[in-house]
Structure 1
Amino acid sequence: MTVVNLNKARKARAREAAKSLAAENRVAFGRTKSEKTKAQADATRLARQLDGKRLEP
Structure 2
Amino acid sequence: MGEVVNLRARRKAKARSDKERQAEENRIKFGRTLAERDRAKKLSEIEKKRLDSHLLQEDTPPEDDAEK
User: Shorter-chain TM-score: what band?
Assistant: 0.5 to 0.7
The separation in 1 between residues aligned to 2:15 and 2:21, in whole angstroms, is: 10
Q: Which runs of 5+ in 1 are unaligned?
A: 38-57
Structure index of larger Rg = 2
Which runs of structure 1 show a deviation greater than 3 angstroms over 4 or more consecutive aligned residues? Answer: none
The separation in 1 between residues aligned to 2:5 and 2:16, in whole angstroms, is: 17
Matched length: 35
Q: Cα offset for 1:8? A: 0.2
Q: Percent identity?
A: 46
For residues 1-57 of structure 1, what are the structure 2 equivalents within 5 Å? Answer: 1-31=2-32, 32-33=36-37, 34=40
Q: Which runs of 5+ in 2 are unaligned?
A: 44-68
The separation in 1 between residues aligned to 2:3 and 2:29, in whole angstroms, is: 41
